[in-house]
Amino acid sequence: MRKRTRDIQKALSQSGYRITQPRRAVIEAIMRARHSLSPEEILARARKIEPSVGLATVYRTLDMLHAEGYLERVRIGNKGYTLACKEKSLHFHLICERCRTVIELQPDRFSRALSAQLRAAGFESQKNAVEIIGRCARCQLSE
């Protein structure tokens, strides 16, 4: 995970973004997460790494990561959450509305065929993840 975090920071730096200690902490907090996080949860986790992180830095870093395709914003109910994407091509996220666990499905034949159809139609997608919100197996068992 640390290698992925360093790779993202290096790519952002090469794209002209300043990578400050607070931004590093926000990126690291997101990349360590095992489920989607709200901006407030990211702030709490990032402050454990770098106490000087502020909420404005969290939002600016989320905007930067979203613009560069490293994360997606997801709405679960009436709350917004953020999740990191490992995959930049068209793929699917299975998101548990109860525990917020995210399963990122790797591109398969279906997603490649869908991408080909989009290109054939001359359509350029702005978002490359499809979110499917429901209940994970663990949460279904505990109901």
Binding-site residue positions for Zn(2+): 96, 99, 136, 139
| Nearest alpha carbon to residue 84 among 100, 103, 94, 71 | 71
Rounded to whole angstroms, the Cα distance separating 117 from 9 reads: 33
Q: Which residues are annotated as a binding site?
A: 96, 99, 136, 139
Q: Where are the alpha helices (DSSP H) in 15-136?
A: 21-32, 39-49, 55-67, 109-120
* Cα-only R_g, the chain: 16
| Nearest alpha carbon to residue 82 among 53, 25, 41 | 41
Q: What is the dihedral of CA 3, 24, 73, 141, to 10 degrees?
A: 60
Burial tier of 114 (Cβ tally within 10 Å: 0-12, 13-18, 19+) = middle
Paired strand residues for 102: 95
